[in-house]
Amino acid sequence: MGFWLAEQRTAQRSSFIQRFDPRFWTINFPRPMMASVVTMASDALRVDAVFYNSDDLAGLIWESEDALDHPLLAYETKRDYSRLKWEFHWRSEGIMPLDAINGPTLTIEGRDAAGLAKSWYVRLWNYASGTPTDADISIEFSRVKGGFLLPGEADPVFPADIDRLFISIIPPEYDELGTRYSTPKIGWVEMSAIRTDGQGAVLEIGDIMMPEHGLAMATAYDDSFNQTPERLLRAIRALGYRGSINHYLGMSHYFRLETLGEGLYVSLAAPREGEEFAAINQPTAVWHRDLISRSETMGFSVILSLSYELFDAHCWNDWKQRAENGDPALTGWEPPSTLLSPANANAMSYLQAVARAFTAIARDAGAAIRFQVGEPWWWIMPDQRICLYDAAATAALGPASVSIASINGPKTAVQEAMLDQAGAILAQSTAALLDAVKQEAGGAPVETLLLAYLPTILDEQAPEAKRANLPVDWASPAFDILQLEDYDWVITGNRSATRNGIELATQRLGYPISQQHYFSGFVLAAGDRFIWANMATAIADAQARGTPEIYVWALPQVARDGFTYFQEEEEDVNAFDDVQFPLAMGQGASVSPGFSTRIVTTISGHEKRNSDWSDARLEFDVGPGIRSEEELGVLIAFFRARRGAAKAFRFRDPYDHSSRDMVGDPTPTDQLLGKGDGQQTQFQLVKNYGDPVGEPQQRWITRPDPDSLQIAIDGQLAGDWSLGPTGLIAFDTSPAEGSDVTAGFLFDVPVRFASDQLRVNHATFLAGEIPEVVLVEVRETS
């Protein structure tokens, strides 16, 4: 496997799109309203909106700079709109009409001729022909003017430096008072026959198509609600992802709301005119129907993921999980979400209605119904209080409800019994949720999946948490597929924790690897780009386990950081034979270490030297070690088995093969691998050359002799470690902060034959001529 964090498109393939291509518009709005945008044709889009307050406002947005797409797929930045003509057909219903005082306005944000930031407010009705709800609109940017009444209030637009276009979409009774509507308002807008002419009418756009690499993509509605599904699917396919799309339905955008006092709460009231479902809002329904239908056409299979998480401000108070003192379960997001109590019948009925709505969309689209229960659990507070004490949970637990001040540490028998019963309640709730999905499917096959977050469920500080949050009632065949995620462990590179966690979950629930999926990592912040390397390693580990489906989470982070994954050729993956070059011949080899240094002589005669390699690359001539016809035959057979230069292998350097000095007997304190920090569990084997006080030259050891390997922590032999691929030491428990992690070992050099041809003249060999047989070191990384 390999990956690249692309920052910009250089020589990669590109094509062209019409400026204002419907796929690349976005929608934005403040809470609590909701809106979505989908494409209807190559020149048409639709916006659906629901308004709860009289000052709700959505913006349909075109950005001059594409900051959402992967760098290899983004359209070019072009801020000059001079001599550009833009035309489209407008239709609307349930929103402020074009001719109203606050009718749809095109806000143009940019800079004036003096370079000062400025916004122009263009009344679309001034450039429309037709009715206030059905009109043709034509904008010539070099002539367009802001202002309500023209020509008296004309404010000419400077078209050469524009950042963004923003079309306002508001309810018919809009005012700035923010009055709550007794009944939410439903509206829509369609823009069709979109076309541009003149200068800058087309934009260059990335048009790469990465080879399929066997990975699947994870998305989330809360992260991508503002984009068109067609844009998202274009990116997923172009980046090489195939098969499944695991789509988290989110916790903050899908719901319908109803008023109680000053608050808005999730609703199951009967759908109103213009709505299809009681549990989810209409913009969400339209968006997901488009996503699922397009996915089917493109050969993707969407897994609908629903969690017990809900935006806190809109959750009914008695539905929330609570700690023993009554504190609600709140996540660390801002603003926070909360967790629905599995014991609360109303909360679970609501969740089932949501699941039914999305299932109906998939069923009616003729798509395979794949439903994931995502991270269902009893919430554990940051201070380790477990939220088992809401009124419904207390009633359901009955006499089993006892005090658990902290989930950490061992538990008494009665506390264990309470956790077991809580786990049974959780499992009953997930079973009921799956039953609702199957009923809505109406006889169509349903694949059921469970997503479990191992670092919390299997926290070694809380060994009994699994009783409540990984209940045995989830054991196979309760679900068809067990999906596992381990973000915290991936972030810290704790591969042993992942290995142990997956083994424990497999043993506890009984799903074989053929019925498991794996989710690799998460890069929350742009400054943490190093995590992608850990994710790539985790992907390789999952492939080695034989995991059928492996997901990258998630598309917005992939696009933000330019993560580009590629599967190397099978021959490359298997291009190392873990065999030793015949030792007897190797003992007579000559060695030539080499560096790559670029030397530039300046005009003043001084030199500037740039070392391109941090470590020497070795070459060996093993010809001098061949002393008989028998050994020559062994060499030829070994060469043929490696297919010439195709396969690398181990070679024992006769002059340097030990961690102690060059050829001494190793001891466990020979080489310092690093300092423990209480979190890191992986350390690369290295050998340091030169003055340890200055800047020693460090060499990675990727092919140690396993039988010789000794690991120590602060000078004491350690036993809780394993040797991973390419010389990576993985501890079961991270070494303590400040401790010295050291190692001793014998090692080999990974090499290959320098050529695909082996030239040996039998006659001259018998006459004493020594053949030249060159081996070249192969660079390996973990």
Residue 603 is predicted with a pLDDT of: 37
The Cα 519–Cα 527 span in angstroms is 21
Token pair of 334 as six digits:
């801002």
Mean pLDDT of 541-562: 95
Q: pLDDT by residue (tens digit) across 148-207? A: 999 989 999 999 999 999 999 999 999 999 999 999 999 999 999 999 999 999 999 999
Taking residue 139's Cβ as centre, other Cβ atoms within 10 Å add up to 21
Residue 543 is predicted with a pLDDT of: 93
Beta carbons of 355 and 430 less than 8 angstroms apart: no
Residue 1 is predicted with a pLDDT of: 59
Query: Would you state the torsion angle of the CA atoms of residues 303, 304, 305, 310, taken in this order, to the nearest 10 degrees?
Result: 160
Mean pLDDT in the chain?
A: 91
Token pair of 23 as six digits:
């796929």
Strands 749-753 and 648-651: antiparallel
- Give the residue with greater pLDDT, 427 vs 642: 427
Query: 410 pLDDT exceeds 70?
Result: yes
Please tell me the least confidently modeled range out of 96-100, 321-325, 343-347, 603-607.
603-607
Token pair of 279 as six digits:
């549990």
CA 102 distance to own-chain centroid: 41
Residue 586 is predicted with a pLDDT of: 61
Residue 643 is predicted with a pLDDT of: 85
Mean pLDDT of 657-675: 94
- Cα dist from 690 to 661, 687, 700, 718, whole Å: 11, 10, 15, 27
Residue 766 is predicted with a pLDDT of: 55
Mean pLDDT of 329-352: 97
Query: 451 pLDDT exceeds 90?
Result: yes
Mean pLDDT of 408-425: 98
Beta carbons of 278 and 256 less than 8 angstroms apart: yes
Residue 781 is predicted with a pLDDT of: 63
The Cα 476–Cα 478 span in angstroms is 5
The Cα 103–Cα 89 span in angstroms is 16
Q: pLDDT by residue (tens digit) across 464-499? A: 999 999 999 999 999 999 999 999 999 888 888 999
Residue 583 is predicted with a pLDDT of: 62
The Cα 514–Cα 516 span in angstroms is 6
Q: pLDDT by residue (tens digit) across 606-655? A: 344 443 334 457 888 888 877 777 888 888 889 888 888 888 999 999 88
* φ and ψ at residue 261, rounded to 5 degrees: 60, -125
Beta carbons of 307 and 339 less than 8 angstroms apart: no
Query: 373 pLDDT exceeds 60?
Result: yes
Beta carbons of 216 and 91 less than 8 angstroms apart: no
Query: 463 pLDDT exceeds 60?
Result: yes
Residue 614 is predicted with a pLDDT of: 41
The Cα 656–Cα 637 span in angstroms is 26
Token pair of 494 as six digits:
């704790």
Burial 195-218 (b: 16+ CB within 10 A, else e): ebeeebbebebbbbebeebbbbbb
Amino acid letter, 153: E
Amino acid letter, 185: K
Query: 2 pLDDT exceeds 50?
Result: yes
**DSSP state letters, 653-713:** -TT--BSSTTTSPP-TTSEEEEE--SS--EEE-EEEES-SSS--EEEE--SB-GGG-EEEE
The Cα 415–Cα 403 span in angstroms is 8
Mean pLDDT of 44-60: 97
Residue 593 is predicted with a pLDDT of: 61
Query: 694 pLDDT exceeds 80?
Result: no
Confidence of residue 12 (pLDDT cuts 50, 70, 90): confident
Token pair of 259 as six digits:
């008023």
Helix (H) / strand (E) element for 648: namely strand 648-651
Beta carbons of 69 and 21 less than 8 angstroms apart: no
Q: Which residues contact 141 (CB under 8 A, 6 or more apart)?
A: 81, 82, 83, 84, 85, 86, 157, 159, 162
Mean pLDDT of 105-123: 98
The Cα 764–Cα 629 span in angstroms is 12
Confidence of residue 675 (pLDDT cuts 50, 70, 90): very high
Query: 522 pLDDT exceeds 90?
Result: no
The torsion region of residue 126 among left (phi > 0), alpha (psi -120 to 50) and beta comes to alpha
Residue 778 is predicted with a pLDDT of: 87
Of 72, 17, 53, 39, the residue nearest 561 (C-alpha) = 72
Confidence of residue 448 (pLDDT cuts 50, 70, 90): very high
The Cα 676–Cα 714 span in angstroms is 10
Query: Over pLDDT 90: what percentage of the chain?
Result: 77
Mean pLDDT of 391-409: 98
Beta strands in 353-508 (DSSP E): 369-374, 446-453, 481-485
Residue 598 is predicted with a pLDDT of: 38
The Cα 74–Cα 89 span in angstroms is 26
The Cα 557–Cα 539 span in angstroms is 16
Token pair of 461 as six digits:
């500080």
- Cα dist from 194 to 39, 143, 190, 230, whole Å: 12, 19, 11, 17
Q: pLDDT by residue (tens digit) across 753-771? A: 988 887 766 555 554 455 7
Q: Where are the alpha helices (DSSP H) in 240-320?
A: 282-298
Query: 712 pLDDT exceeds 60?
Result: yes
Q: Is 554 helix (H, G, I), strand (E, B) or coil?
A: coil
Q: pLDDT by residue (tens digit) across 732-748? A: 888 999 999 999 999 99
Q: How many residues does the chain have?
A: 782
The Cα 194–Cα 41 span in angstroms is 10
Q: pLDDT by residue (tens digit) across 282-298? A: 999 999 999 999 999 99
Query: 595 pLDDT exceeds 50?
Result: no
Quick check: pTM over 0.85? no
Please tell me the least confidently modeled range out of 358-372, 624-638, 704-718.
624-638
Q: Where are the alpha helices (DSSP H) in 196-344?
A: 221-224, 229-238, 282-298
The Cα 134–Cα 156 span in angstroms is 26
Confidence of residue 597 (pLDDT cuts 50, 70, 90): very low
Residue 740 is predicted with a pLDDT of: 95
Q: pLDDT by residue (tens digit) across 506-521? A: 999 999 999 999 999 7
